[in-house]
Amino acid sequence: MAREDATRAYYDEFSRWYERERGRGYHALIDDLEVSVAEPLARGAKVLEVGCGTGLILERIARVADKAVGIDLSPGMLAQARERGLDVHEGMATKLPFEDASFDLVYSFKVLAHVPEIETALAEMARVTKPGGTVLAEFYNPWSIRYLAKRLGPAGRISENTTEAAVYTRFDSPQRIREILPRNTELVGWRGVRVVTPTARLISLPVIGRVVSTVEHALLDSPAAQFGGFLIAVIRLTA
């Protein structure tokens, strides 16, 4: 089976479990932090989410955007996004089915870490972004507590029969990200998601969870952002 077909099958399988924990605790915190980065840039704008999944984040961004579109390779994920009434399409991050300079904001969360051809995906995201527009590209960061947790702990389950180990996963440091940025772009800054949270279960604890959540929001746009387990590069199109 080709890598693309294997990845599609993985996410189709994952789609049946994907939202089981998304609305609370750790996963809700991660989604809230990511939305807080994208939402100000999405207001009144034409927006594309690359790897929209079931549409949890796109649905929130669509409330403030002039137009919000999603793309994903998984029919299983897209079926749930369409149930939300979202404008979504099947396709690959490495070959976006849109004209040049179509969007003011293009963002991708929790997806680029699973794309081997990362330079191609970033170039495609830049291609469909208007000059002066913004790309938000989220990576898995080896300079992070989350990286250690992933290396030391067991792989998380995405279904009864499959774990996260079944999908290609990459980790890119801030230094490496700078090296692979497309031409005609500039790195504006970093946003760090999950900077200090050692384990997802901590967020479920009544008092400690609230404290850690408050700290994570405070560190999102700070010098500590470069140590976020999910590292968001804020990239501006210069031409």
pLDDT digits (tens, 9 = 90+) for 98-135: 999 999 999 999 999 999 999 999 999 999 999 999 99
What value does the mean pLDDT of the chain take? 95
pLDDT value at residue 130:
98
In this structure, what DSSP letter does residue 224 have?
A: G
Sheet holding 46-50: strands in order across?
Answer: 87-90, 67-72, 46-50, 103-108, 129-140, 230-237, 185-193
3-state secondary structure of 26: helix
pLDDT value at residue 211:
96
Domain ranges in the chain? 3-237
> In CATH, what number does 3-237 get?
3.40.50.150
**pTM greater than 0.85:** yes
Whether pLDDT at 83 is above 60:
yes
Residue 145 confidence class, pLDDT cut points 50, 70, 90 = very high
pLDDT value at residue 184:
94
| Residue pair 89/145 in contact by the 8 Å Cβ criterion | no
Q: E strands, the chain, where?
A: 46-50, 67-72, 87-90, 103-108, 129-140, 185-193, 230-237
Token pair 């099947």 in the structure block, residue: 90
Both tokens assigned to 196: 């200090």
Residue 2 confidence class, pLDDT cut points 50, 70, 90 = confident
pLDDT digits (tens, 9 = 90+) for 18-64: 998 787 899 999 999 999 999 999 999 999 999 999 999 999 999 99
Residue 5 confidence class, pLDDT cut points 50, 70, 90 = confident
